[in-house]
Amino acid sequence: SQTSSSSPPSSSRPPVSHFIGKKDDIVKAGRMTTMVNGCRDILVLYHQGQLHAMDMRCYHSGGALQYGDIEELNGRLCIVCPWHKYKITLAEGEGLYQAVDDPTAKPLRKYWRSKGVRQRIHNVTEVNGNVYVTLNDSNEAIESDVYQTERYRTGLLKA
């Protein structure tokens, strides 16, 4: 029979790194997707000498970010979702959009603005050619979490 659990709350547990692959393979492919810890679908990207990891499905409507182009917008590297072209910064997971300060001005002047963090970014590290992902388990809800639930996954499988 089960005794009462003594695990501390997740915030005080040391973060766990999950081996996801060889750096050489990820560099060659440029990107890979994998399920981490049996619960989260992650996209890992290698771009301009840097590894990035984030939730695989776009916060807007679950789009397949692994097929998105990478663009530099306003000096920030973004993945552009192939479904409706939402732009997400690789480093922070912020949703970027273009705003206009004066709609009557000619020519229109557009600015890049941030909606804040919408996509959950995870920590990715490399040790001796092996790449590890540590899930970002902050309790704060992030919009992309919606597409990581069992219910969503099961729905996808049935669809």
Under the binding rule (CB under 6 A), the answer on residue 63 touching ligand FES is yes
d(CA 108, CA 110): 6
| Least distance in angstroms from the C-beta of 86 to ligand FES | 3
| Cα→Cα distances 33→40, 95, 129, 144, 153, Å | 10, 21, 18, 16, 15
| Cα→Cα distances 8→4, 43, 84, 98, Å | 12, 29, 41, 43
DSSP 26: H
Under the binding rule (CB under 6 A), the answer on residue 86 touching ligand FES is yes
- Closer CB to ligand FES, 62 or 93, in the complex: 62
Maximum Cα–Cα distance across the chain: 74
Residues within window 64-83 making contact with ligand FES, judged by CB under 6 A:
81, 83
| Least distance in angstroms from the C-beta of 59 to ligand FES | 7
Under the binding rule (CB under 6 A), the answer on residue 58 touching ligand FES is yes
| Least distance in angstroms from the C-beta of 133 to ligand FES | 22
Piece in contact with ligand FES (CB under 6 A), picked from 58-66, 91-99, 101-109, 126-134: 58-66
Under the binding rule (CB under 6 A), the answer on residue 61 touching ligand FES is yes
Mapped onto helix, strand or coil, the DSSP state of residue 76 is strand
State the residues that interact with ligand FES by CB under 6 A: 58, 60-63, 81, 83-84, 86
